[in-house]
Amino acid sequence: MDLEGIFGLFGFSEENNKKKLKELEALKDTPRFKLGMFHKLVMNSLIFKKQTLKFFSKSSPKLDLDDIDTAGEFMVYTRAYYWIQDFKIRSKEWKLALKEYYSDEEFLCSLKLTINYFESTEEYEKCAFLKKIQDLVIKNINTNKNEI
């Protein structure tokens, strides 16, 4: 995708385009962005999975839907883990992003689904890592409830 061309449609100068591109690149390195990408991938995968299986169930010749489902899950959870693997438990920046934007039941669901997937593939190191993040989310949720 040509982002410079897209910014150009809005009448931004070339210098402003470059500035916006740098801002976008910097945003991709933030904990908030990475946590958001993790969450979005996992949650959207549930919808995508239903649509994909429905599509391939109508194919001729019939395809093995279990293989398609397995491959899809592998791609989704591996890519989702890519976005969260940089989480630093002791980092104030990561903890703040988690607390302010992702300490809710929906994000907790994303973590649980991902942990379940990696349990099924026996990747227990990933499970342990995600469990630490899950514990922080639960702590934040409980703290928020007590503050109300």
Q: Which residues contact 124 (CB under 8 A, 6 or more apart)?
A: 118
- Token couple for 19: 């500035």
**Residue 52 pLDDT > 80:** no
What pTM was estimated for this model as a whole? 0.80
Alpha-carbon distance of 128 to 21, in angstroms, equals: 36
pLDDT of residue 18: 78
Q: Extract the tokens encoding 29.
A: 């390195």
Least confident piece of the model among 5-14, 90-99, 125-134: 5-14
Could you tell me which residue, 20 or 113, shows the higher pLDDT?
Answer: 113
For 37, 43, 51, 92, 96, the CA distances from 32, given in Å and listed in that order, are 9, 16, 29, 12, 9
| Cβ atoms < 10 Å from Cβ of 70 | 12
Q: Are the CB atoms for 137 and 107 separated by under 8 Å?
A: yes
Q: Residues 65-113: pLDDT tens digits?
A: 777 778 889 989 999 999 999 999 999 999 999 999 999 999 999 999 9
**DSSP 8-state secondary structure symbol assigned to residue 104:** S
pLDDT given at position 119: 98
Which residue from 127, 106, 131 is spatially nearest to 39, judged by alpha carbons? 106
More confident residue, 87 or 20: 87
Residue 4 has pLDDT above 70, yes or no: no
CB 80, CB 114: distance < 8 Å: yes
* Separation between Cα atoms, residue 20 and residue 106, nearest integer Å: 31
The answer to whether the CB of 137 falls within 8 A of the CB of 111 is yes
